[in-house]
Amino acid sequence: MGKIKKKGTSGNAKNYITRSQAVRKLQISLQDFRRLCIFKGIYPREPRSKKRASKSSTPSTTFYYTKDIQYLLHEPLLNKFRDQKALAKKISKALGRNEVSDAARLERNLTPRIRLDHIIKERYPTFVDALRDLDDALSMLFLFANLPSTSEVPAKTIAKCQRLTLEFEHYLIRTHTLRKSFLSIKGIYYQATIQGQDILWLVPYKFVQRTAGDIDFRIMGTFVDFYTTLLGFINFRLYTGIGLVYPPRLDAQSEEQGAELAAFHLEGQADGKEEVIAGEIMDTDTNAKAQAEADKMLALSGPDTEDVEREVIQKAEETNASTALDQFASLDPSADALLQPSSTADAESAGQLFEAFTFFLSRETPRHPLEFILKSFGCKRVGWDTSLGEPGAYCPEDDKRITHQVVDRPDIPLPSPPLTDGEADEDAAPTRTSNHRVPGRIYVQPQWIWDTINAGQLQRPDLYAPGATLPPHLSPWVKPKKGDYDPTLSLADQATAGEEEEASDDEAEADEALEAAGDGEEVEGVRGDDEAREVEEELEADEGMDVELAASDDSEDDEDAAPGAADDDWDGLSDDEGEAPETDHATREAREHQLELEAEAKGQIIKTSDEGEKKKQARQAKKDVRTRAEREAEEDVERRKMMMSRRKRKMFEKMVYSNARKDEETEKLRGKRRKIEKGGAKA
């Protein structure tokens, strides 16, 4: 007889452990257990059978791997947590004896300092592993950098998050590794490529944030503690990798005045020479070249703004021509589409995109995102209104070296022409208001900058002029597949054959209804015809035209008879009832001929019933052909499904159902666009 196994010593019962058992085994509180799991990256697991994994009759809800909890037994942070618990007891006893000074002294001198350096090295053996896990860290730190200070979120934590995020942005500016950005409802998405790793994070808009009471900031604060340590390590590695001293020197006075990026001064490790990235000094040769371009734009400034825009675009295209990627065209139109090289700019081309320009940001535009993006793509000279923060601004609004001004207000008119010599006042000084354009300067809306960096090349500035209807701002990470709705293409390029036929049928029916309803409308080109007007006058004088329906001698006698004679002589059907169809056909032809003559005289267009019937029959024939082809295709699919196994048939039906739902959604989107375009055309 074999040995009887004891319950809970093998299988799932041994591999899994409940949360209450783990807390008792580690001898810490539940709050410290949560913090420790977040730091170490240990999360709950879901066993296949909770009943088998549980050692009690009631299945528990939260399970962990037993090996993970065994691994936590040797964590040095456990001693720190126990020291904190012992210190909390001492402080509570001192406060109970009303010894406030002793409690403050204990808290000040004996509070253990928790360091997470060893955990960072354990979880991320290589630097690439840390970069891969940077998405959530940046999103969380940028979120806390924009929160107001409260009792749950201390000001010290917010200041630390702001400093680390600004340091990371400075690295992106220096290396030109920012690639894409997108404006969404949640905030601004950014994507950077560092050492071959794509990092995507979300930055909220700078609105007044209201923290709700149902948010557990203790757990979020634990993540922030870990992420600040992680980003500090990454910033140190990034700065030292390009030869800069970390941490960069921070000017506290400029920071208090709202300098943000300009408050940091970067220093090189080799010679200790200071380089102010966010200020006026950068590279002497590059700055001199850019200043020469600005001076050239100043010489070209004048009342003809279109010539200036054309000169700027041509110069930028010549600059980016060397880094343009080749496009591969297929010789066979029926072959598969060739993969094109990515249009994402590399570091060199990204550093030259806005290098030749001088930007000024109006006070209604978001200063920090625009400054960060412009400097990340090569712009060295960015000015803004002093109300947004005086430190760091390159130039005022009336500076003549400005080539582009970013505005987000209605259309800005050109300034009024100067007064003549007789009207001019000698004592009056020339004044300029902020709601007038400066000749020789290009005015664009902020979306122009985002669309330019996503496309990797300068976009047409006239499409983003103040007050203009902007093009759709699409996500650079969503690429429409074949059959999906693509806002960048016209309806003729992406609509299916069935949709086009249905749309044409609807248009034809609508036109017929309009023609039937608007019988009295006039046609252009015939309205002023003299001959038509003469015929119309003759028709009005004769009160219409009479057409003989039957050539007989008795018609004149019937006309001369009294009006009531027809009723008195009526005695059933006539003897010529066999000729009724021919008479009806002749009557219809005569009526149509009469209507055509009247329409030609009045300048109208009228369609006969035969033409309408022919068109309806043609449309119905096309529908019948398409329906027959679809029916044959469905029968073929059903025959193939009969040869499948039950499992594959279910998978196929699920795939067909999901594809049909997607097609319905795309058809709805294209239908909405078709209605919008029709409404715009009518307007």
pLDDT, one tens digit per residue, over 335-369 is: 555 554 444 457 778 888 899 999 999 999 999 99
pLDDT score for 184: 94
Within-domain flag for 56:
yes
Within-domain flag for 517:
no
Whether the predicted pLDDT of 673 surpasses 50: yes
pLDDT score for 337: 55
Within-domain flag for 598:
no
Within-domain flag for 242:
yes
Question: Domain tally for the chain?
Answer: 4
CA dist., res. 70 & res. 84, Å (int): 22
Per-residue pLDDT, averaged over 6-16, amounts to: 78
CA dist., res. 459 & res. 309, Å (int): 11
- C-alpha separations of 601 from 514, 529, 605 in Å: 21, 9, 10
Query: Picking from 442-446, 493-497, 667-671, which range would have the lowest pLDDT averaged per residue?
Result: 493-497
Q: Are residues 193 and 317 in the same domain?
A: no
Per-residue pLDDT, averaged over 68-81, amounts to: 92
Hey, how many other C-beta atoms are within 10 angstroms of the C-beta on 219? 13
Question: What range does the domain containing 29 cover?
Answer: 12-75
> Degrees (nearest 5) of the Cα angle 128, 132, 138?
120
* Nearest by Cα to 262 from 282, 240, 242, 245: 282
Q: How confident is the model at residue 234 (pLDDT cuts 50, 70, 90)?
A: very high
> Degrees (nearest 5) of the Cα angle 563, 567, 569?
105
Whether the predicted pLDDT of 441 surpasses 60: yes
Residues 465 and 444: beta-carbon distance below 8 Å: yes
- The count of residues in the chain is 683
- DSSP state for residue 198 in the 8-state scheme: E
CA dist., res. 53 & res. 12, Å (int): 5
pLDDT score for 284: 38
Q: Are residues 122 and 245 in the same domain?
A: yes
- DSSP state for residue 45 in the 8-state scheme: B
Mean pLDDT over the full length of the chain: 77
Burial class of residue 82 in the structure, from the number of CB atoms within 10 Å of its CB (0-12 exposed, 13-18 middle, 19+ buried): middle
Q: Are residues 129 and 217 in the same domain?
A: yes
pLDDT score for 682: 65
* pLDDT tens readout for residues 290-316: 445 545 544 544 444 445 445 545 554
Within-domain flag for 459:
yes
Q: Are residues 304 and 388 in the same domain?
A: yes
Q: Are residues 306 and 183 in the same domain?
A: no
The two structure tokens encoding residue 408: 């987000």
Within-domain flag for 329:
no
Pick 555 or 491 by higher pLDDT.
491
* pLDDT tens readout for residues 493-516: 776 655 666 666 666 665 555 555
Q: Are residues 404 and 354 in the same domain?
A: yes
Q: Are residues 221 and 300 in the same domain?
A: no
Pick 306 or 331 by higher pLDDT.
331
CATH of the domain at 451: 3.40.50.10190
Within-domain flag for 619:
no
Q: Last residue of some domain: 22, 55, 75?
A: 75
Q: Are residues 25 and 162 in the same domain?
A: no
Per-residue pLDDT, averaged over 485-496, amounts to: 74
Whether the predicted pLDDT of 330 surpasses 90: no
Q: Are residues 56 and 175 in the same domain?
A: no
Within-domain flag for 96:
no
CA dist., res. 327 & res. 528, Å (int): 55
Pick 497 or 424 by higher pLDDT.
497
Q: Are residues 64 and 134 in the same domain?
A: no
Q: Are residues 27 and 126 in the same domain?
A: no
Q: Last residue of some domain: 41, 56, 75?
A: 75
* pLDDT tens readout for residues 83-117: 999 999 999 999 999 999 999 999 999 999 899 99
pLDDT score for 458: 92
Residues 389 and 254: beta-carbon distance below 8 Å: no
pLDDT score for 88: 93
pLDDT score for 504: 63
pLDDT score for 156: 94
Those residues whose C-beta lies under 8 Å from the C-beta of residue 558, and which sit 6 or more positions away, are 566
Q: Are residues 199 and 289 in the same domain?
A: no
Per-residue pLDDT, averaged over 21-50, amounts to: 92
Whether the predicted pLDDT of 265 surpasses 60: yes
CA quadruple 548, 551, 554, 560: dihedral sign: positive
Whether the predicted pLDDT of 128 surpasses 80: yes
pLDDT score for 236: 95
pLDDT score for 293: 55
pLDDT score for 587: 80
